[in-house]
Amino acid sequence: VQAVHRTLFPRSSGGATSMTEAMQPDRLSPRFWVLVFAVLATASYALAFKAALVAFVLLGMGFELAFWVTLFRAAR
């Protein structure tokens, strides 16, 4: 844990005593922000992909419904 903490907060000398102390901007390393950005980007990308997939499926179902309705109307 201490090794990870030293990697994330290199400027703090034995590690921050509390979370609020650790979250002060002058103590955070650029590596920490890169990590945060990577996590957020991955999460938002996955979410956008799922949303696009759902929209695509719903669109497909809509087209299929329209197709069958048209077919049944033509048959009558």
* pLDDT higher than 70, residue 63: yes
Residue 33 pLDDT class (50, 70, 90 cuts): confident
Which percentage of the chain shows pLDDT scores above 70? Answer: 64
Q: What is the per-residue DSSP string for the chain?
A: -HHHHHHH-SSSSS--SSHHHHT-TTT--HHHHHHHHHHHHHHHHHHHHHHHHHHHHHHHHHHHHHHHHHHHHHH-
Say what the pLDDT of residue 66 is: 92
pTM of the model: 0.41
